[in-house]
Structure 1
Amino acid sequence: MRVSTITMFEQSTASINRQQSGFLKVSQQIASAKRVVNPSDDPQAAARAIGVDQSKAMTKQFADARVAARNSLAQTESVVNSISDAVMSAKSLLVRASSDTFSDTDRESFASELKGIYETMIGQANATDGNGRYLFAGYKDNTPPFVKSADGSVEYVGDMSARQQRVDSSRLMPVTENGATIFQSVSQGAGYIAEAQGNQGSVTFSGPRASDMNHADYGASFKVVFGEAEGEPTYSVQRFDGTNYVDFDPALTDQPYSGDGQQVTFGGVSITLSGEPVAGDEFLVTRAGSDERPADLFKTMEQAIQALETPAVTAADKANLRNTLNTAMRDLDNGLDNVLMVRASAGARLEELNVIDAVGSNRMINYEQTLSDLVDLDYVAAISEYSLRQVGLQAAQKTFIDLKGMSLFDYM
């Protein structure tokens, strides 16, 4: 078979081009340290690498989100810790102020000190983060969550939700708390609390204490109402039926009242009463944080301040002072338990972030390894290929030179 000269030249040129192309490809791989420089080098590996890259980017975004979440939770925990210190200081002050040895002037001094704690708590309740957002306002974080109304009381105007942030593909984490959860809530384990209802007599209480938590009526709200029969004081226990307080047990209706540490038991709860009542006096006995008496740390502080500022002249004044302080101290105990629970929850979420960070770091390492397996270059194999391509290109060039010299005209 006769092969034309032009065919030999074309094949030699094509061979040189192929060797140059292979040599250039290996050179690019070595220069970029990548086996897959273009998708055409390995379409399947390139497609998988895109997916892994996207997963890496998402993992990095979640890691950045966890940094922001950790900052918010750390600030929340710090402020809540300061609030718990304020509540403990207020409780300690009320314990001291409840002593009968202090005069009205002394109690005014305690009231002034309690006002300072009260204002400090308001400032902490309206704390902001590093971006100027209010920590405890929920999603309404551009305005202060607690404001003073016209009568001087503090009201919560923030959102009832806790601001959340996605810190992992499967975890949407609350990164703050709303103010109502901290200042207007109690823990589920909070027990009963008693409160005098504007009494005119000198009856004081201690307790209430749980006597039978399995009682059918345990958890209901009650009132101890004083009356009079044949010139002697009596008491009746009424139960809240969802609309009104009504007598519910004949054995606890119009019973004689002795007035000397008398213990009254009802609904799995007992309360001890002392002093002389006036007909119409009453005590509310209900679960802390119930609808009949919602929890409110600021209101508790306001009532305690008002009681300390009011001169205790008569026996009724002294009884009202003692009852108010007893109720306030129980409220502060419940509030402190709740604040500590909120702080523990924030701490638990901070610890959870550490665990998620560890998982995210391991996931990132796996992605890096997978990506390396897909597109990274094996330098030993690449250098061997480079040398081989270099020899092939040189051989093609030498062949072309030899072929070019095989002409009959050179012998004519």
Structure 2
Amino acid sequence: MIRISTQMITERSLSSMLRQQSDLSETQLQLSSGKRVLTPSDDPASAVRVMGLNGAMDTLTQYQSNIGRLTTRLETEEGVLEGVTDLLQRVRELTVQGSNDVLALADKASIASEVRQLSEQLFSMANSRDSGGEYLFAGYQTGSQPFSRNLGVYSYNGDNGQRELQIASDRTVADGDNGFDTFMDIATGPLATVSVAAPTVLTAVAAGDITIDGGNGNGAISIGALPAAATAAERATQLRDAINAATSQTGVTAEFNTTPANTLTLTAVGGTGVTVAMAGSATTTTTGLTAGTTLPVSSKRSIFETIDQLASDLESGQSVGRYITDVDLAMENIVEIRASVGARLNAVEEQESVNADLKLNLEMYRSDEQDLDYTETISRFETQMMALQAAQQAYVKVKGLSLFNYL
């Protein structure tokens, strides 16, 4: 026979009520938090899956943050490059206007003044910053001004790097373009330059004795006859005017040199070079020309230098037609970079949508693992509450039992 004491009844009742209170408290916490799994011990397998899902969602959140930063920087860069394109288009218009030889020196100086203003604007654009105060075209050196100048010499102080930001587990995108490739290392048109010495014999030169081939596909073109000249300066002028009269066919232009006196420089932009042929009355002594072929030379220089040289040549009254090709090449480079920026913007926009869809799916999976079924939990809460109340009432009655009540 087991002896049931009052102490045993009390201990068992209290133990049962405390357990029911603990269950009720846990259910109440679930209802207040909206989560089924409050601690790993509630459901170890589900807790591990939730931790994995939380880590994946945190990573996606960082990717989306990177995409936001990329979008801001790339849109800013695209706006700057659009402005540079418009600026270079205006420079080209002014170059075409300034290449008109009928313009007076004052007119060319006026054009040069606008060109120099555009040069100042271009320099400012190249040193643009994003909304965070970082320079757009400095490579990795985003905290340092990329371009500087001293006495007309332009320097690039950045590097050739491109920062990459990760937007997916296996995908990174550059957040900008370095200034060296954008503004400094720009191809110029193939240029053939021929030096013409001062003539010493001023006799007449017959038509057809001097032919020039500018390498533009039109072949050798005769520049016509040159009458006898009184001075070397007059002969140089005759030769210059005759060559420039055929420029539309040869693509070759002639300009006076200040030193040495009575000398010329022939220039051809593009093509395969300049070929000079002489016969009969045309010799080096009567023309200053030397028979032979001069091949074109291609070089690279900054857009800033091209525009500054254009302005200087306009101010001195020289022909500036050769700069048209240089400006065109500069614009092509900017347009190519703009296309790259646009492609990157499209890529990050598409990835942002993919990341958003993936994050939504992960949130659904996490909800299935940890979110509460309110209907079931409320029903359980009410059942536990009733059970606890019943246990408490039963304890009160049992505790009040005594044989003295029946004596």
| TM-score normalised per structure 2 | 0.74
Structure 1 residues 51-103: Cα deviation after superposition (integer angstroms, max 9, x where no partner): 32233223222222222221111111111111111111111111111122212
Residue 195 of structure 2 aligns to a residue whose secondary structure is coil
Please state if 1:354 is matched with 2:365.
Answer: no
Distance 1:339 1:353, change over 3 A: same
In the alignment, which of 268, 274, 289 is matched to residue 278 of structure 1?
Answer: 289
Distance 1:12 1:45, change over 3 A: same
Alignment map for 1:6-17 (pairs within 5 Å): 6-17=7-18
Structure 1 contact 194–207 (Cα < 8 Å) conserved: no
In the alignment, which of 326, 329, 334 is matched to residue 339 of structure 1?
Answer: 334
Query: Displacement of 1:382 after TM fit?
Result: 0.3
Residue 391 of structure 2 corresponds to 396
Query: Displacement of 1:329 after TM fit?
Result: 0.9
Please state if 1:193 is matched with 2:185.
Answer: no
- How far apart, CA to CA, are the structure 2 residues paired with 1:283 and 1:110? 32
Distance 1:343 1:286, change over 3 A: same
Distance 1:155 1:199, change over 3 A: farther
Structure 1 residues 258-308: Cα deviation after superposition (integer angstroms, max 9, x where no partner): x965699xxx96457689773399755255xxxxx1242222222222221
Moved more, 139-148 or 80-89: 139-148
- How far apart, CA to CA, are the structure 2 residues paired with 1:83 and 1:103? 29
Residue 173 of structure 1 aligns to a residue whose secondary structure is strand
Residue 377 of structure 1 aligns to a residue whose secondary structure is coil
Residue 322 of structure 2 aligns to a residue whose secondary structure is helix
Residue 304 of structure 2 corresponds to 298
Distance 1:274 1:81, change over 3 A: farther
Structure 1 contact 185–335 (Cα < 8 Å) conserved: no
Residue 193 of structure 1 aligns to a residue whose secondary structure is coil
Please state if 1:308 is matched with 2:314.
Answer: yes
Alignment root-mean-square deviation, CA: 3.2
Structure 1 contact 208–270 (Cα < 8 Å) conserved: yes
Structure 2 contact 73–175 (Cα < 8 Å) conserved: yes
Residue 173 of structure 1 corresponds to 173
- How far apart, CA to CA, are the structure 2 residues paired with 1:167 and 1:177? 18
- How far apart, CA to CA, are the structure 2 residues paired with 1:33 and 1:95? 73
Residue 371 of structure 1 corresponds to 366
Residue 80 of structure 1 corresponds to 81
> Which structure has the larger Rg over C-alpha atoms?
2
- How far apart, CA to CA, are the structure 1 residues paired with 2:314 and 2:398? 115
- How far apart, CA to CA, are the structure 2 residues paired with 1:282 and 1:122? 39
Query: Displacement of 1:374 after TM fit?
Result: 1.7
- How far apart, CA to CA, are the structure 1 residues paired with 2:383 and 2:23? 10
Structure 1 contact 164–175 (Cα < 8 Å) conserved: yes
Structure 2 contact 212–250 (Cα < 8 Å) conserved: no
Distance 1:115 1:285, change over 3 A: same
Structure 1 residues 101-129: Cα deviation after superposition (integer angstroms, max 9, x where no partner): 21222222222221111111111111122
- How far apart, CA to CA, are the structure 2 residues paired with 1:198 and 1:269? 14
Structure 1 residues 192-237: Cα deviation after superposition (integer angstroms, max 9, x where no partner): 932244734799986757xxxxxxxxxxxxxxxxxxxxxxxxxxxx
Residue 58 of structure 1 aligns to a residue whose secondary structure is helix
Distance 1:263 1:404, change over 3 A: closer
Structure 1 contact 29–37 (Cα < 8 Å) conserved: yes
Structure 2 contact 215–275 (Cα < 8 Å) conserved: no
- How far apart, CA to CA, are the structure 1 residues paired with 2:166 and 2:332? 29
Distance 1:332 1:93, change over 3 A: same
Residue 136 of structure 2 aligns to a residue whose secondary structure is coil
Structure 1 residues 141-164: Cα deviation after superposition (integer angstroms, max 9, x where no partner): 2332222234x1322222111233
Query: Displacement of 1:184 after TM fit?
Result: 2.9
Residue 145 of structure 2 corresponds to 144
- How far apart, CA to CA, are the structure 1 residues paired with 2:327 and 2:212? 19
Residue 135 of structure 2 aligns to a residue whose secondary structure is coil
Structure 1 residues 332-375: Cα deviation after superposition (integer angstroms, max 9, x where no partner): 11111110111111122122221121122112212221221122
Matched residue type, 2:180: A
Query: Displacement of 1:310 after TM fit?
Result: 1.9
Structure 1 contact 165–175 (Cα < 8 Å) conserved: yes
Question: Unpaired runs of 5+ in structure 1?
Answer: 210-258, 288-292, 313-320
Question: Unpaired runs of 5+ in structure 2?
Answer: 199-210, 218-244, 253-269, 278-286
Please state if 1:154 is matched with 2:165.
Answer: no
In the alignment, which of 362, 382, 389 is matched to residue 387 of structure 1?
Answer: 382
- How far apart, CA to CA, are the structure 2 residues paired with 1:201 and 1:164? 56
Alignment map for 1:118-129 (pairs within 5 Å): 118-129=119-130
Matched residue type, 1:193: G
Residue 166 of structure 1 aligns to a residue whose secondary structure is strand
